């Protein structure tokens, strides 16, 4: 009969009393070629305030929580701080005001000789220019030029002690020559960026700097010519273009632009000639007009604030420059008893007042039909404040030549009065002047 022994109370029940037999030839464990990410590593830091708001909601996996705890704008902003996903160098600093990864990449730009550093900036600028990122390209070329300016300052120092422990003054001729070549290239390339950004004066300055380094740089002449042309400095643009063609007579771009400059100069000369002709014609017309007025003893006077007459004016017709032409006047016909008026734009000196009233009458506001050619008289004010009665058969030119009359601000004013009430109006005018 088998014996069953009772187990003691302190026996650890977790012990495996029957382990599986080990295989006779266990294969060695293979190394983990693809290491897995740590469970506590997340693409973005988890926002603690978001976790608090979650309350009793079941927790998300860490990777999902790190994304869900931020808004879409915050995620984009954090991705933009990562060099791989950056779309701009602006606003890439972290919470502490720095970006370690970006600083590490930037530090690589300044490794090597000055020529190598500038070459790196130049290549980055060229890449930006290829995709027409003109501002970024300009910034890269400027950084390269800044490095070269610093090296020039270092070379100008008299002793290594003045230069500092980390700055070597000793640079071979090949290095210095390479730096000059790069400086010239950076200036002429930055001129292109400034030209596209419409920084025209900066374009000319960069081209001038490139030409000081190499007076035979055709690109500098070409881009300088483009900027000067845009500034409408055609003489300077033509000079720059001509100098470039003296160096490279077969340059198609310069030859084409020289033709464009010449065409523009021809056009401007034609415009200037027409302007001078207009001015000369206006002077002649004004002289003939004044001569005609003096010959007819017609006086004119302008006040400090003349009315806007648009294109109505005293002129000679049909030819303003011919002494045999007829004087034409803008005339206002006033009806002071009814506070109404009519305007005749071109009243000939040979016309009488009835010549125009015959097509103006009847007046639309004259309900009683009081105004007729037989029921009205005409009066004009003199320069001294008096009145002259205008005869119905007297031409305007003869009236205006009467002593005491003058045309004020280029407008002839004629009062049209009902005969029956003319005396009443005249007395009222006298009383007003008396006061």
Q: Which residue has the tokens 């926002």?
A: 47
- Nearest Cα to Cα of residue 412 among 378, 384, 372, 435: 378
pLDDT number for residue 45: 72
Closest CA to 109 of 98, 99, 124: 124
How far is Cα of residue 183 from the mean position of the Cα atoms in its chain? 31
The pLDDT of 414-434, averaged and rounded, is 90
CA pair distance 125, 187, nearest whole angstrom: 12
Cα gap 36→44, rounded to integer Å: 18
Whether the per-residue pLDDT at 333 is higher than 80: the answer is yes
Mean of pLDDT values over 86-112: 59
Quick one: tokens of 133? 């990122």
- pLDDT of residue 6 exceeding 60, the answer is no
Q: Which of 285, 355, 282 is nearest to 322 (CA)?
A: 285
Token look-up 């005969």 returns 419
> In the predicted model, is pLDDT for residue 30 greater than 50?
no
Residue 249, token pair as written in the block = 């007579």
- For residues 3 and 405, which has the higher predicted lDDT (pLDDT)? 405
Q: In which region does residue 55 sit, left (phi positive, over 0), alpha (psi from -120 to 50) or beta (all else)?
A: left
Model pLDDT, residue 74: 77
Q: With 90 as the cut, is the pLDDT of residue 429 above it?
A: no
The CA–CA distances, whole Å, from 43 to 70, 71, 86, 423 equal: 12, 14, 16, 103
d(CA 359, CA 355): 8
Location of structure tokens 């007009």 = 289
Task: Reduce the DSSP state of residue 82 to 3 states and report it.
Answer: coil
- Least Cα distance to 243 among 266, 261, 265 occurs for 261
The pLDDT, as a whole number, for residue 7 is 46
Q: Tell me, rounded to whole angstroms, the distance of Cα 198 from its chain centroid.
A: 9
Phi first, then psi: give them for residue 415, nearest 5 degrees: -90, 125
Length of the chain: 435
Tell me: the pLDDT tens digits for 205-240?
A: 999 999 999 999 999 999 999 999 999 999 999 999
Q: Has residue 158 got a pLDDT over 70?
A: no
Q: What pTM, to 2 d.p., does this model score? A: 0.57
Q: Is the pLDDT of residue 141 over 90?
A: yes
- The answer to whether residues 102 and 85 touch, using CB atoms and an 8 Å cutoff, is no
Task: State the pLDDT confidence band at 166, using cuts at 50, 70 and 90.
Answer: very low
Residue 292 pLDDT more than 50?
yes
Mean pLDDT, all residues of the chain? 84
Distance between CA 167 and CA 174 in Å, rounded? 18
- What secondary structure does DSSP assign to 27-68, as a single string? PPPPP-SSPPPPTT--SS---HHHHHHHTTSPPPPHHHHHHH
Q: Which has the closest alpha carbon to 293: 263, 261, 254, 323? A: 323
For residue 93, the model assigns a pLDDT of 53
pLDDT band at residue 88 under the 50/70/90 scheme: low
For residues 165-173, give the mean pLDDT: 57
């Amino acid at each position: 009969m088998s014996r069953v022994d009772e187990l003691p109370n302190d026996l650890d029940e977790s012990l495996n009393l029957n382990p599986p037999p080990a295989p006779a030839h266990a294969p060695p464990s293979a190394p983990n070629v693809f290491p897995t990410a740590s469970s506590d590593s997340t693409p973005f830091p988890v926002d603690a305030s978001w976790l608090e708001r979650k309350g009793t909601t079941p927790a998300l996996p860490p990777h999902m929580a790190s994304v869900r705890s931020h808004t879409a704008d915050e995620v984009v902003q954090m991705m933009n701080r990562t060099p791989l996903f950056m779309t701009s160098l602006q606003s890439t600093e972290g919470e502490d005001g720095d970006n370690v990864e970006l600083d590490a990449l930037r530090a690589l730009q300044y490794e090597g000789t000055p020529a190598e550093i500038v070459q790196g900036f130049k290549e980055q600028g060229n890449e930006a220019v290829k995709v027409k990122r003109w501002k970024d390209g300009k910034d890269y070329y400027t950084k390269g030029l800044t490095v070269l300016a610093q090296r020039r300052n270092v070379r100008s120092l008299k002793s290594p002690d003045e230069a500092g422990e980390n700055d070597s003054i000793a640079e071979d001729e090949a290095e210095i020559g390479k730096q000059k070549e790069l400086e010239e290239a950076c200036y002429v390339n930055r001129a292109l960026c400034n030209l596209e950004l419409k920084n025209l004066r900066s374009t000319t300055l960069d081209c001038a700097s490139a030409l000081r380094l190499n007076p035979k740089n055709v690109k500098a002449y070409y881009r300088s010519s483009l900027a000067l042309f845009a500034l409408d400095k055609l003489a300077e643009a033509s000079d720059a273009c001509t100098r470039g063609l003296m160096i490279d007579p077969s340059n198609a771009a310069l030859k084409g632009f020289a033709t464009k400059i010449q065409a523009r100069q021809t056009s401007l000369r034609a415009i200037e000639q027409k302007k001078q002709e207009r001015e000369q014609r206006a002077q002649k017309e004004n002289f003939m007009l004044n001569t005609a007025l003096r010959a007819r003893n017609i006086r004119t006077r302008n006040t400090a604030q003349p009315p806007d007459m648009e294109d109505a004016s005293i002129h000679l017709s049909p030819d303003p420059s011919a002494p045999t032409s007829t004087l034409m006047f803008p005339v206002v016909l006033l009806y002071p008893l009814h506070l109404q008026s009519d305007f005749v734009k071109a009243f000939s000196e040979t016309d009488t007042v009835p010549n125009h009233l015959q097509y103006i009458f009847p007046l639309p506001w004259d309900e009683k039909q009081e105004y007729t050619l037989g029921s009205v008289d005409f009066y004009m004010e003199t320069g001294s404040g008096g009145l002259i009665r205008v005869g119905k058969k007297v031409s305007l030119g003869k009236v205006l030549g009467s002593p005491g009359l003058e045309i004020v601000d280029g407008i002839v004013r004629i009062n049209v009065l009902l005969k029956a009430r003319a005396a009443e109006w005249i007395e009222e005018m006298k009383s007003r002047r008396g006061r």
